[in-house]
């Protein structure tokens, strides 16, 4: 397992960027500071900026006192790039012991200076004034200056962005998200927010998190019943007797033609007695536990008056917009209650899901290929310094892999052809047997893309038995118009299909998969009213980050990983 470190990243790496023009000294728009990236990510490493006065803010990666405590060196990083700015502060400016601890936040005014000859740095920062300090007790700080494994960092998920690896992943993830919106916006797609809470199971796998208030309501009622036990039959009978007596008293006063004031007072007592009886009768109906009807949970008493779940995909909902707005996409969190502890599974993950009206499987494959190539090229153009860090720390081939995918046409083979190729492999023994009808395993997918074709591969026309009900049935009635985009390092990156637009066919497919029709009636309406040929796909966002960075475990490329047994923060 590769390790992370709180030690400074070698600064020369930040100076190898190919920049066509010298960027201006950029200040943060909404805070009084200059971005460290603006200083260090120049062709000259910032050397030409010597003499300029700036304000910086950031966190100390490492710090050490020198000259018998007369000054200190700090390596400061503000998150704008992987490189650190070397900072020099004299003891006459501030108490050095408050600044040198790893993790300390500093906000500093000073001047950029040329360092002595022979040093690695092209520029350094001499502090003239300390504006603010967020101190750290080094004896208690959870992230020491030693190398830290990624497994260890999952136990301090709120602090791990301070490490070189997680901060680089965050910048790469941000760039991929920006590139995603850029690509689809440039191609005329409309961004649609699909619901996180749904009543439909898109995949038909049943591995969904249920959304309910019944449990909390049951716990609340149980606590209330313990605190205030329900009334007994004797209590209710006594209350009824009081109502009867109060009613007779009112009648007697009216018969005796008592004063209006006396009658009103008696009526008020009767009303109060009736309210008390009503409350007692209502409380007597309270029963501990989850409400049931005919021996089953009564979901009509739930928040949504029916079963509801966290979505496994926004695809079905975004289709409704594709069927009137043509080109749309959704990009958001999805959830799967799968008890898997592999390095490729999360309980909460993000999906990019475009949907295109008037498009067939070929159009779908063309869009997916252009999208993946766009993402790769975007990272190479905008995140080269972070990619260089990843190549140095985790995967020396990550930049070459991105370059290859960004510029190489994808191979396209049918599922049947792919199985035939794999069945004839002699130089490798697969753990999972290859035969027509299986869902290709990761080892099969990676062999096709890494060994056979040595480039991305799109496999299409899968057996209907291993694909979802919404995929269009081909004329052979054995396969569906589905496709997967396979890339080196991760295998399947994208799954997509032409959707089944024929009402009778999709109804039968739903039934064949053992699913009820009722939750999908709205989805079937898209086939009943103005049906249109349409296609789409889903890209697993975290898998794209794995592919780009070379990191092995998906838990390390999402800010706050959720997986069985863990939901920190």
Query: Is the domain of 182 the same as that of 57?
Result: no
Which of 276, 301, 326 is where one domain is finished? 301
Does the pLDDT value for residue 488 go beyond 80?
yes
Which of 243, 276, 301 is where one domain is finished? 301
Residues 6+ apart with CB under 8 A from 463: 415, 436, 437, 478, 479, 480
Secondary structure of 509-536 in HEC code, one letter for each residue: HHHHCCCCCHHHHHHHHHHHCCCCCEEE
Region 48-60: mean pLDDT is: 96
Does the pLDDT value for residue 10 go beyond 70?
no
Alpha-carbon gap, residue 239 to 227, rounded angstroms: 21
What is the number of domains present in the chain? 3
Q: Residue 14 falls within a domain, yes or no?
A: yes
How sure is the predictor about 2, in pLDDT bands with cuts at 50, 70 and 90?
Answer: low
Q: For residue 282, what pLDDT is reported?
A: 81
Q: Residue 409 falls within a domain, yes or no?
A: yes
CATH at residue 474: 3.30.930.10
Measured on CA atoms in the order 369, 371, 377, 380, is the torsion positive or negative? negative
Region 225-230: mean pLDDT is: 78
Query: Is the domain of 347 the same as that of 417?
Result: yes
Question: Look-up: residue for tokens 């009722």?
Answer: 518
Q: For residue 318, what pLDDT is reported?
A: 97
Query: Is the domain of 66 the same as that of 137?
Result: yes
Q: For residue 204, what pLDDT is reported?
A: 55
Please say whether the beta carbons of 106 and 130 come within 8 A: yes
Does the pLDDT value for residue 352 go beyond 70?
yes
Alpha-carbon gap, residue 399 to 384, rounded angstroms: 8
Q: Where are the beta strands (DSSP E) in 336-432?
A: 348-357, 411-414
Q: Residue 428 falls within a domain, yes or no?
A: yes
What would the two tokens of residue 310 be?
Answer: 């966290």
Query: Is the domain of 480 the same as that of 532?
Result: yes
SS3 label, residue 174: helix
Q: For residue 115, what pLDDT is reported?
A: 94
Query: Is the domain of 365 the same as that of 457?
Result: yes
Region 324-346: mean pLDDT is: 93
Q: Residue 330: which H helix or E strand, with range?
A: strand 327-335
Query: Is the domain of 244 the same as that of 337?
Result: no
Above pLDDT 70, what percent of the chain? 95
Mean pLDDT of the chain: 92
Q: For residue 206, what pLDDT is reported?
A: 58
Question: Look-up: residue for tokens 């889903």?
Answer: 538
Higher local confidence (pLDDT), 272 or 145:
272
Which of 275, 301, 327 is where one domain is finished? 301
Alpha-carbon gap, residue 213 to 235, rounded angstroms: 31
Q: For residue 394, what pLDDT is reported?
A: 95
Q: For residue 485, what pLDDT is reported?
A: 98
Q: For residue 17, what pLDDT is reported?
A: 42
Which range, of 35-49, 77-91, 195-209, 347-361, averages the lowest pLDDT? 195-209
Does the pLDDT value for residue 227 go beyond 90?
no
Query: Is the domain of 240 the same as that of 98?
Result: no
How sure is the predictor about 8, in pLDDT bands with cuts at 50, 70 and 90?
Answer: very low
Does the pLDDT value for residue 136 go beyond 90?
yes
Does the pLDDT value for residue 23 go beyond 70?
no
Q: Residue 117 falls within a domain, yes or no?
A: yes
Q: Residue 29 falls within a domain, yes or no?
A: yes
Higher local confidence (pLDDT), 197 or 2:
197
Residues 6+ apart with CB under 8 A from 371: 180, 183, 184, 354, 539
Region 467-475: mean pLDDT is: 96
How sure is the predictor about 188, in pLDDT bands with cuts at 50, 70 and 90?
Answer: very high
Region 436-464: mean pLDDT is: 97
What would the two tokens of residue 259 be?
Answer: 């004063």
Query: Is the domain of 84 the same as that of 195?
Result: no
Q: For residue 504, what pLDDT is reported?
A: 97
Residue range(s) defining the domain that contains residue 259: 214-301
Higher local confidence (pLDDT), 78 or 285:
78
CATH at residue 76: 2.40.50.140
Neighbours of 107 (CB within 10 A): 17
Which range, of 23-27, 333-337, 534-538, averages the lowest pLDDT? 23-27
Does the pLDDT value for residue 181 go beyond 70?
yes
SS3 label, residue 45: coil
Alpha carbon 215 to its chain centroid, in Å, reads 26
Q: Residue 95 falls within a domain, yes or no?
A: yes
Q: Residue 563 falls within a domain, yes or no?
A: no
Give the angle subtended at the CA of 342 by the CAs of 337 and 348, to the nearest 5°.
35
How sure is the predictor about 24, in pLDDT bands with cuts at 50, 70 and 90?
Answer: low
Region 251-258: mean pLDDT is: 90
Q: Residue 564 falls within a domain, yes or no?
A: no
Region 3-18: mean pLDDT is: 46
How sure is the predictor about 5, in pLDDT bands with cuts at 50, 70 and 90?
Answer: low
Which range, of 10-24, 269-283, 322-336, 356-370, averages the lowest pLDDT? 10-24
Query: Is the domain of 93 the same as that of 18?
Result: yes
Residue 226: left if φ>0, alpha if ψ -120 to 50, beta else—which one? Answer: alpha
What would the two tokens of residue 149 be?
Answer: 């494994």
Does the pLDDT value for residue 184 go beyond 60?
yes
Alpha-carbon gap, residue 103 to 163, rounded angstroms: 10
Query: Is the domain of 49 the same as that of 187?
Result: no
Residues 6+ apart with CB under 8 A from 422: 430, 434, 440, 444, 447, 448
Query: Is the domain of 405 the same as that of 360?
Result: yes
Does the pLDDT value for residue 428 go beyond 80?
yes
Q: In a 10 Å sphere around its CB, with 0-12 CB exposed, 13-18 middle and 19+ buried, how is residue 498 labelled? A: buried
Query: Is the domain of 338 the same as that of 189?
Result: yes
Question: pLDDT digit string (tens) for 524-569?
Answer: 999 999 999 999 999 999 999 999 999 999 999 999 999 999 998 8
Q: For residue 18, what pLDDT is reported?
A: 44
């Amino acid at each position: 397992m590769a390790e992370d470190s709180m030690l400074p990243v070698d600064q020369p790496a930040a100076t190898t960027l190919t920049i066509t023009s010298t960027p201006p000294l950029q200040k943060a728009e909404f805070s009084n500071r200059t971005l460290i990236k603006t200083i260090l990510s120049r062709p000259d490493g910032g050397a030409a900026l010597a003499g300029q006065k700036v304000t910086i803010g950031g966190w100390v990666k490492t710090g050490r006192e020198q000259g018998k405590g007369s000054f200190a060196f700090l390596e400061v990083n503000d998150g704008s790039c992987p490189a650190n700015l070397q900072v020099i502060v004299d003891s006459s400016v501030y108490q050095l012991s408050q600044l040198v601890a790893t993790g300390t936040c500093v906000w500093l005014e000073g001047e950029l200076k040329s360092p002595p000859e022979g040093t690695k740095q092209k520029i350094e920062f001499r502090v003239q004034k300390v504006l603010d300090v967020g101190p750290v007790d080094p004896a208690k700080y959870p992230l020491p200056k030693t190398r830290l494994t990624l497994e260890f960092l999952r136990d301090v998920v709120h602090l791990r962005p301070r490490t070189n690896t997680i901060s680089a992943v965050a910048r790469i993830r941000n760039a991929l998200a920006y590139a995603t919106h850029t690509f689809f916006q440039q191609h005329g797609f409309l961004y649609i927010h699909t619901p996180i809470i749904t009543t439909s199971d898109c995949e038909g796998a049943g591995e969904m998190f249920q959304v309910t208030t019944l449990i909390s309501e049951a716990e609340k009622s149980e606590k209330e019943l313990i605190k205030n036990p329900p009334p007994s039959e004797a209590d209710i009978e006594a209350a009824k007797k009081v109502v009867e007596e109060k009613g007779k008293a009112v009648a007697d006063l009216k018969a005796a033609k008592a004063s209006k004031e006396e009658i009103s007072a008696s009526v008020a007592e009767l009303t109060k007695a009736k309210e008390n009886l009503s409350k007692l009768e209502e409380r007597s109906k309270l029963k501990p536990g989850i409400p049931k009807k005919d021996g089953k949970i009564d979901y009509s008493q739930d928040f949504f008056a029916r079963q509801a779940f966290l979505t496994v995909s926004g695809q079905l909902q975004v289709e409704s917009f594709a069927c009137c707005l043509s080109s749309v996409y959704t990009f958001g969190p999805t959830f799967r209650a799968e008890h898997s502890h592999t390095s490729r599974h999360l309980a909460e993950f993000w999906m990019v899901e475009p949907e295109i009206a008037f498009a067939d499987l070929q159009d779908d494959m063309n869009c997916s290929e252009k999208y993946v190539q766009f993402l790769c090229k975007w990272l190479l153009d905008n995140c080269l310094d972070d990619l260089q860090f990843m190549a140095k720390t985790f995967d020396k081939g990550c930049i070459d892999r991105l370059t290859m995918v960004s510029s190489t046409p994808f191979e396209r083979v049918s599922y049947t052809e792919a199985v035939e190729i794999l069945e004839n492999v002699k130089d490798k023994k697969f753990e999972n047997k290859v035969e027509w009808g299986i869902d290709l395993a990761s080892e099969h997918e990676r062999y096709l893309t890494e060994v056979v074709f040595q480039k991305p591969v799109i496999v299409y026309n899968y057996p209907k038995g291993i694909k979802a009900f919404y995929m269009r049935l081909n004329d052979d009635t054995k396969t569906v118009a589905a496709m997967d985009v396979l890339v080196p390092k991760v295998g399947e990156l994208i799954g997509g299909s032409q959707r089944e637009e024929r009402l009778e066919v999709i109804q039968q497919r739903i039934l064949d998969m053992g699913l009820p029709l009722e939750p999908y009636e709205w989805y079937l309406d898209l086939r009943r009213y103005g049906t249109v040929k349409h296609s789409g796909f889903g890209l697993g966002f975290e898998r794209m980050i794995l592919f780009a960075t070379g990191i092995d475990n998906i838990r390390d490329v999402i800010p706050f990983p959720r997986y069985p047994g863990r939901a920190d923060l």
